[in-house]
Structure 1
Amino acid sequence: MTQAEADAPDGLWLFDGVCNICSGSVAAVLKLDREGVIRFTPIQSPYGRQLAAAHGIDPDNPASFLFLDHGQALEKTAAIGALLRLLKAPWRWLALVDRLPRGPADAAYDWLAANRYRLMGKKAACMVPSPADRARFILDLPAE
């Protein structure tokens, strides 16, 4: 593990804050993760842009979300599986998605990601968390 991986936040979801599918998924996880294990940063935030660039994702045209889990930055179905494993049953059982053959599963993910705005639309501005959920969102660069 590199030093960057060791310093990476754990349980952090980097998502497209203007994507309706992404924002809806975040809203669902906020309701399902009552313990607050999963945290969030929109790719449009200063911290999100930094994380995206550090992991080879174009912050202005993201093709995937990232989930930082145990020092690893995961994408696509691997990220979905790791995120779901942190939820309580029965939702964690859906983590089996990352046991599907990676090629076809990631190809389906790529298709959905490429068509997400056409299928479900796009917000004019990044989602704003409720005051109750605000502490679970990281927007600014960490202090050094």
Structure 2
Amino acid sequence: MPDLPKDKKIILFDGVCNFCNDKVNFIIKNDKNDSFRFVSIQSETGKKIITYLGIDPALDTIILYEPGYAYFIKSEAVFRIIKHLSSSVKLLLLFNFIPTSIKNLIYDYIAKNRYKWYGKNENCLLPSEDINSKFIV
């Protein structure tokens, strides 16, 4: 298992997905308490974390890993992330009453179509200097 910060929540994301990269930038902008660190699922570190957690590497989802606690996927990960973001973003928690099975259907629909709608890169994008410390390589 890679050496991970114990006091940060780790978000594993699709590093070649334009939609996913946009959402990572959104989270960074709204993470006023510096709660999160980011790892591309395609990176060696991402693969090691997935193996350590026993997650199917073919699983097409965002993963929120809280070291020493648990991990969460799909809509459950999204809503747990939102809880830690700035107050204006927390308005999205109003949708958390929707049953997880329905939220995951919506999540899966977006995940299935994200490349078609938003495109993808050949390689993972490199973070800019000002946010580089938010990423685990």
TM-score range, shorter chain: 0.7 to 0.9
Percent identical pairs in the alignment equals: 27
Q: Distance in 1 between matches of 2:106 and 2:5?
A: 28
Point out where structure 2 has 5 or more consecutive residues left out of the alignment.
Answer: none
Q: Which among 22, 29, 47 is matched to residue 24 of structure 1? A: 22
Q: Distance in 2 between matches of 1:28 and 1:132?
A: 14
Deviation, 1:8, is 8.5
Relative to structure 1, the CA distance from residue 69 to residue 97 in structure 2 (aligned partners, 3 Å threshold; closer, same or farther) is farther
TM, length-normalised to structure 1: 0.81
1:121 is aligned, of 77, 96, 119, to 119
Indicate the SS of the match to 1:124: coil
- CA separation in 2, counterparts of 1:55 and 1:117? 26
The one of 63, 68, 83 aligned to 2:65: 68
Count of aligned residue pairs for this structure pair = 132
Please, which of 71, 85, 109 is the counterpart of residue 111 of structure 1? 109
> What is the deviation of 1:23?
0.4
**Where do 5+ consecutive residues of structure 1 fail to align?**
140-144
Q: Normalization by structure 2: what TM-score?
A: 0.85
- 2:39 aligns with one of 14, 38, 41: 41
